[in-house]
């Protein structure tokens, strides 16, 4: 993993992005070289060289625009690399976006003379090159030897969740779990336990199985850790880390089962400086104003449809808990019938909820019902990116049931957030606990860079209806 502005990014993501940026750059310049139908290479090439500054700027805009489009379509999510059909479908969806982006560039910089031949060559080279890169990555990702090889020290209750996630993860290869003498019982499958023989040592196991990462997952370490062996492994280039750090780095969440108060207090992150708050507020105002202007026609259509189907009111106000535990009224388009909670008891939304209207199902699927929350952002009650605000009725219960839940209220809640783009809709205590672990990752590592990544990833959530109910 590579850390960029406190956010962990997979090396494979960076390599794939770099290769595709080269493909897109080459495709753009190839299109410029053949920019007019019937022109010779030398003649058209001269026009490119005549304005290298303009072409460089437009090429950069094209590459960045396409990278944002592909990120928004989820093409850089590790979960779909092994699904070639899904990759092909989303690449096909990116094709009209590529055409629209080129037309926008031609309109903005007419001196480029980007003709039909140049358009065909750019699009063909771009998507042919990207398809080839993706195919090579698909073949490469299937080779286990290229993945980090992880050895876990510990077989107790702390590694149960890790063992479960590791079975479904393509990010690394789990070599096995080494038990400690102090372990009362083993919580991982017996086939994955690697008991050391009397003549074996930790460095020898590491060398034998080509381990390059060691994860310490033991709760009681007093006199139990093989410090000398761990130092020897470290000196041989093997990464050694705590379970909590491994979860944060590899799964980009803070695991509640593996953290301790000292890890929370003494570790990096959780910065809430004045400059950070000022920049985030400016970011909120700019993004919210731009989105309000772009989405105003959609909001008007949604309002009319709500009135036609079920009458007034169009907006739905609901109490939510914000920063510092302060209660405020959140605005949403009404997506349920007027008698949704006639008994006065708040309830989580469930799949195929019979309280939802026909229009409500559509606007919830497309997240249009969330757009009025722009008003909350402009008023300063919410941020554009942050943990989703919960109702006071649920907060009172969750604070007592889930450790560290109250930390969500140290920042402003958001319209979208890290938990929303990483996990499905939360409608139970287990779901809420899982989402909190993503929220804690955001609280620990939030920067404007992560906010931008979340905004782009939200496009994928909206397009493919991930987690909507």
Is residue 74 domain-shared with residue 217, that is, in the same domain? no
pLDDT of residue 338: 66
Cα–Cα separations (whole angstroms), residue 86 to 73, 81, 82, 169, 464: 11, 9, 9, 18, 12
Based on the fold, state whether residues 6 and 130 are members of the same structural domain. yes
Same domain, 290 and 383: yes
User: What's the pLDDT at 48?
Assistant: 43
CATH number at residue 183: 3.40.50.20
Contact yes or no for 236/175 (Cβ under 8 A): no
Cβ(140)–Cβ(147) below 8 Å: no
Q: Residues 288, 291, 297, CA angle at the centre, nearest 5°?
A: 135
| Domain count across the chain | 3
Eight-class DSSP state of 412: -
Does one domain contain both 328 and 450?
A: yes
Q: Which residue has the tokens 């080269």?
A: 22
The residue from 88, 114, 141 where one domain ends is 141
Q: Name the H helices within 73-191.
A: 84-108, 116-141, 160-168
Whole-number Å distance between alpha carbons of 55 and 298: 36
- Domain span at residue 75? 2-141
DSSP character string of 251-310? ISS--TTT--HHHHHHSS-----HHHHHHHHHHHHHHHHHHHHHHHHHHHHHHHHHHHHH
Q: Which residue, of 211, 241, 266, is where some domain finishes?
A: 266
406 and 286 together in one domain: yes
Q: Which two tokens stand for residue 320?
A: 């939510």
Q: Is residue 469 part of a domain?
A: no
Beta carbons of 363 and 302 less than 8 angstroms apart:
yes
Q: Which of 319, 389, 330, 333 is nearest to 362 (CA)?
A: 333
Q: At 453, list the tokens.
A: 């990544």
Write the CB contacts of 387 (distance below 8 Å, at least 6 apart in sequence).
408, 411, 413, 414, 417, 419, 439, 442, 443
How does pLDDT run along the chain (469 residues), one tens digit per residue? 677 777 777 777 888 889 999 999 998 888 877 765 444 444 444 444 445 555 777 888 888 888 888 888 888 876 666 677 788 888 888 888 888 887 787 777 766 666 677 778 888 888 889 888 888 877 776 665 667 889 998 888 788 888 888 777 767 888 889 887 666 677 787 788 887 777 788 899 999 999 989 998 887 666 667 888 999 999 988 999 988 888 888 888 888 888 877 777 777 777 777 888 898 999 999 999 999 999 999 999 999 999 988 888 899 898 999 999 999 999 999 888 766 556 556 666 655 666 788 888 888 888 888 999 999 999 999 999 999 999 998 999 999 999 899 999 999 999 999 998 888 766 678 888 889 999 999 998 888 889 998 998 888 887 776 655 5
Residues 218 and 280 in one domain: no
**CA distance to 66, 91, 120, 139, 170, per residue, from 88 (Å):** 16, 5, 19, 15, 20
Location of structure tokens 């593996």: 258
Residues 76, 51: one domain? yes
Please, how many CA atoms are within 13 Å of residue 97, restricted to the half-sphere of its CB?
A: 18
> By 3-state DSSP, what share of the chain in percent is helix, strand and coil, each rounded to 5?
60, 10, 30
CB 206 within 8 Å of CB 214: yes
- State which of 113, 141, 169 marks the end of a domain: 141
> What is the predicted pLDDT for the residue at 272?
74
Do 150 and 127 share a domain, yes or no? Answer: no
333 and 458 part of one domain: yes
Contact of 369 with 333, CB cutoff 8 Å = yes
Which tokens is 136 given?
Answer: 């090579």
- Residue 413 and residue 392 in one domain: yes
Residue 259 lies in a domain: yes
227 found inside a domain: yes
In a domain, 219, yes or no: yes
pLDDT at position 260 is 78
Q: How many whole angstroms separate alpha carbon 9 and alpha carbon 244?
A: 17
Same-domain check for residues 327 and 446: yes
Tell whether 94 and 201 lie within a shared domain.
no
């Amino acid at each position: 993993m590579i850390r960029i502005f406190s956010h962990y990014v997979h090396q494979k993501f960076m390599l794939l992005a770099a290769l595709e940026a080269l493909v897109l750059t080459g495709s753009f310049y190839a299109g410029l070289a053949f920019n007019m139908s019937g022109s010779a290479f030398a003649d058209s090439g001269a026009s490119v060289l005549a304005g290298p500054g303009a072409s460089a700027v437009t090429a950069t805009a094209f590459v960045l625009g396409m990278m944002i489009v592909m990120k928004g379509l989820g093409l850089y999510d590790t979960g779909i690399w092994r699904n070639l059909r899904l990759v092909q479908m989303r690449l096909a969806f990116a094709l009209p976006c590529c055409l629209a982006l080129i037309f926008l560039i031609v309109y903005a910089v007419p001196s480029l003379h980007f003709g039909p031949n140049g358009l065909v060559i750019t699009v063909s080279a771009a998507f042919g090159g990207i398809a080839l890169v993706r195919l090579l990555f698909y073949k490469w990702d299937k080779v286990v030897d290229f993945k980090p090889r992880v050895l876990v020290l510990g077989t107790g209750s702390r590694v149960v969740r890790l063992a479960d996630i590791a079975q479904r993860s393509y990010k690394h290869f789990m070599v096995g779990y080494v038990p400690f003498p102090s372990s009362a019982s083993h919580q991982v499958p017996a086939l994955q336990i690697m008991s050391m023989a009397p003549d074996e040592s930790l460095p020898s196991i590491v060398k034998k199985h080509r381990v390059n990462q060691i994860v310490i997952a033991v709760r009681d370490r007093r006199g139990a850790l093989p410090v000398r062996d761990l130092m020897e492994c470290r000196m041989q280039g093997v990464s050694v880390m705590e379970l909590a750090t491994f979860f944060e780095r590899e799964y980009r969440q803070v695991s509640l089962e593996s953290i301790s108060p000292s890890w929370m207090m003494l570790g990096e992150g959780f910065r809430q400086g004045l400059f950070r708050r000022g920049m985030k507020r400016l970011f909120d105002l700019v993004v919210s104003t731009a989105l309000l202007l772009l989405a105003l026609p959609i909001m008007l259509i949604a309002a009319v449809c709500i009135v036609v189907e079920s009458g007034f009111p169009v907006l739905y106000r609901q109490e939510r808990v914000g920063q510092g535990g302060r209660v405020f009224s959140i605005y949403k388009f009404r997506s349920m019938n007027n008698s949704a909670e006639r008994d006065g008891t708040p309830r989580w939304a469930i799949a195929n909820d019979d309280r939802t209207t026909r229009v409500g199902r559509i606007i919830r699927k497309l997240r249009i019902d969330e757009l009025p929350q722009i008003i909350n952002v402009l008023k300063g009650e919410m941020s554009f990116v942050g943990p989703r605000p919960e109702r006071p009725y649920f907060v009172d219960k969750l604070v007592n049931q889930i450790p560290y839940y109250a930390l969500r209220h140290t920042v402003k809640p958001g319209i979208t957030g890290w938990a929303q783009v990483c996990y499905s809709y939360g409608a139970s205590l287990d779901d809420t606990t899982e989402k909190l672990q993503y929220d804690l990752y955001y609280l620990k590592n939030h920067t404007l860079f992560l906010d931008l990544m979340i905004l782009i990833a939200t496009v994928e959530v909206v397009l493919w209806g991930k987690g909507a109910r």
